Homo-oligomer: A and B are copies of this chain.
Amino acid sequence: MNIGDVAERSGLPAKTIRYYEDIGLIRPHRSANGYRCFAETDLHKLAFLARARALGFTIEDCRTLLGLYEDETRASADVKQLAQEHLSIIETKITDLQAMRDTLTELVQCCAGDNRPDCPILRDLAGESDCQERV
């Protein structure tokens, strides 16, 4: 398979696949003409990577996960721990974003949104918090 084929079948852009080779996540063979030549196992790895990335794992996590996947003597505890650490990072991000969302929602609700300059959002950013004197 050429890169275009695996790109289509894995759902990853060709650029991304070249990048993954660059950083050593995959090692496709080369044809006589210099083209990358992908085997089924390469495609399988790329699909693995695409799923792991879609779950938000970093590239380095993906490298570790691939290594564990190929290591028949792995302990599932190692995989689980990696996933749990990633999970807690995600939960932190969710919490942070929810705090932003809550504050922003309140500010937006307080803002008239008309053609006058008076704006509680700007007042809040400027440190003169009011916005209906929230307790």
Flag if A127 contacts B86 (CB, 8 Å): no
**A residues at B contact (CB < 8 Å):** 44, 47-48, 51-52, 54-56, 65, 68-69, 71-77, 79-81, 83-84, 86-87, 90-91, 93-94, 97-98, 100-101, 103-105, 107-108, 111-119, 121-122, 124-127
| Complex interface: chain B residues within 8 A of A80 (CB) | 108, 111-113, 119, 121
Flag if B44 contacts A126 (CB, 8 Å): yes
Flag if A127 contacts B51 (CB, 8 Å): yes
**Distance from A2 Cβ to chain B, minimum over Cβ atoms (Å):** 22
Q: Which residue of B lies closest to A96 (CB)?
A: B56
Flag if A121 contacts B79 (CB, 8 Å): yes
Q: Contacts A90-B100, A104-B90: A114 and B75 contacting too (C-beta < 8 A)?
A: yes
| Complex interface: chain B residues within 8 A of A117 (CB) | 71-76
With the chains together, A103 CA to B57 CA distance in Å?
A: 13
Q: Which of B52, B94, B113 contacts A97 (CB 8 A)?
A: B94
